A and B are shown apart, each in its own frame.
Chain A
């Protein structure tokens, strides 16, 4: 099985304002982007499972020119709330690194 970190040269996460998180998946080239960029594995259900996100508030934007996919989801806890663990959401990308992608050609 291929994991996300094997086909991306850079993966990052960050707040997009206090109520949204945005994740950038920079694939390592056109081939990987074409093969995995639209993978159903990277759908709203994944973000529901990993982050508790509301699947209706998960948005995916492929950017072919940059061989990247941006996925944004609504934060499930208020930024800076009583159990804040990651104020900037800068560490949230880590849970994606070992996500196994559908390897069907």
Chain B
């Protein structure tokens, strides 16, 4: 693979990150701005673990198909017009194989509608359980706190497992002539840094610029005034500006973003090294752009983080609203009494068949988010919503528990000698099957000698397919 070295790197390399997540809404006027500034590539991630494990476990996208297709249409047209690469990582939110294929199908549809014939590289990094068990048995898997050593049972409890890619598979795809890259789970930074690294940009500024830009316009002063951000990486540092004259980046807005969703404000661990911004210096170029120097890249033995998601037990929920002031002055007492009755009711009517079930009442408007008892003297709320959550081994049992609890949940009196009240409910039937609980099961890294060892690259060369008989 031919990669220009930092010594011969002329720079600067300008990358447009058009949105914080594919489907969030790329703006055509920002793309025109970046084109006029001479952008060399468009790069964006399409996902995160933040919204929960369901998207990996189920292989589904969080963003709706229409908004992803809309962004792909805008970005694929822009990249084709400007003859520059479009790089997408963590496709379909979770970046599992099914998430990647979902995104691939949309991209093929868009290409046909636009009448363009790009060479598309698809990077998969889902890892099968046998492969992971074998590597674990060789001592190649390490736990990250707070989790402990990995065992086969934990691997088996996952529905899908991905290895989080670094920049190398992207660089290889660019080197092989990709017009569009659709990657599975990847660090946000690797997706954005890959083009500049391929061109021989110094790694410290390339990775730091990518971290600043990972959420698009989030690093600007006004988080909503622009969707994207433009980074320009040169031999000694990088510059960042919003691709919109309406917005600004300030040294504070740019430096603060390094803190975002990162447990350490100075170090960012990537598959092949660590970005260290301890000595980074942020200065205003003018009222809109910021220059950053002093970012350091420290190579480390190559490790890929593992993400695995699996399903747990099943839940059925019900919801009521309460305005009765006699309840609202005694919410904690009401909660405790009702919960005791619901457990009793379930045991009396379903018995041992209910298994190791769990019932939770969340008092929205009082303490549903914290779960803490508010201090004495807290004023009574005007109304509250009570969410009932039954958890059981099967969906059917969770619903049976909800149905058994139904009359008590909807009519439980604060004073047992008064007539039964009816609390406000909005739906009939009242119980809603929520499906299983999804959890991330892994917080481990796997050591690999070759960054591509766990990555599969497939090519869709639309120009060739067209010529085939």
**A→B interface (CB under 8 Å):** 14-20, 22, 24, 26, 54, 57, 59, 61, 63, 65-66, 68, 70, 72, 74-75, 78-83, 85-88, 91, 94-95
Across the interface, do B443 and A72 meet the contact criterion of CB distance under 8 Å? no
Residue B135 is within 8 A (CB to CB) of chain A in the complex: no
Considering the chains assembled together, what is the distance between the CA atoms of A23 and B99 in angstroms? 31
Considering the chains assembled together, what is the distance between the CA atoms of A63 and B53 in angstroms? 32
Across the interface, do B437 and A95 meet the contact criterion of CB distance under 8 Å? no
Residues of A within 8 A of B264 (CB): 59, 61, 70, 72
Residue B410 is within 8 A (CB to CB) of chain A in the complex: no
**6 tightest A-B contacts by CB?**
A72-B263, A74-B146, A16-B263, A18-B440, A80-B52, A70-B265
Residues of A within 8 A of B315 (CB): 82
Give the Cβ gap from B436 to chain A, nearest Cβ, in Å. Answer: 10
Considering the chains assembled together, what is the distance between the CA atoms of A19 and B372 in angstroms? 21
Contact of B146 among A22, A54, A86, A95 (CB under 8 A): A54
Considering the chains assembled together, what is the distance between the CA atoms of A83 and B361 in angstroms? 10
Across the interface, do A85 and B371 meet the contact criterion of CB distance under 8 Å? yes
Given the known interface contacts A79-B53, A80-B53, A81-B437, the answer about A19 and B368 at a Cβ–Cβ threshold of 8 Å is no
Residue B54 is within 8 A (CB to CB) of chain A in the complex: yes
Across the interface, do A15 and B50 meet the contact criterion of CB distance under 8 Å? yes
Across the interface, do A87 and B52 meet the contact criterion of CB distance under 8 Å? yes
Interface of B is mostly: loop
Considering the chains assembled together, what is the distance between the CA atoms of A80 and B443 in angstroms? 15
Give the Cβ gap from A23 to chain B, nearest Cβ, in Å. Answer: 10
Considering the chains assembled together, what is the distance between the CA atoms of A26 and B256 in angstroms? 10
Considering the chains assembled together, what is the distance between the CA atoms of A17 and B49 in angstroms? 7
Considering the chains assembled together, what is the distance between the CA atoms of A103 and B258 in angstroms? 31
Residue B260 is within 8 A (CB to CB) of chain A in the complex: yes
Q: A17-B261, A19-B144 are in contact. List 4 more A-B contacts (CB 8 A).
A: A66-B256, A74-B146, A81-B437, A85-B370
Query: CB-nearest residue of chain B relative to A16?
Result: B263
Considering the chains assembled together, what is the distance between the CA atoms of A76 and B50 in angstroms? 16
Considering the chains assembled together, what is the distance between the CA atoms of A15 and B49 in angstroms? 9
Given the known interface contacts A74-B145, A85-B369, the answer about A15 and B261 at a Cβ–Cβ threshold of 8 Å is yes
Considering the chains assembled together, what is the distance between the CA atoms of A20 and B362 in angstroms? 23
Residues of A within 8 A of B360 (CB): 82-83
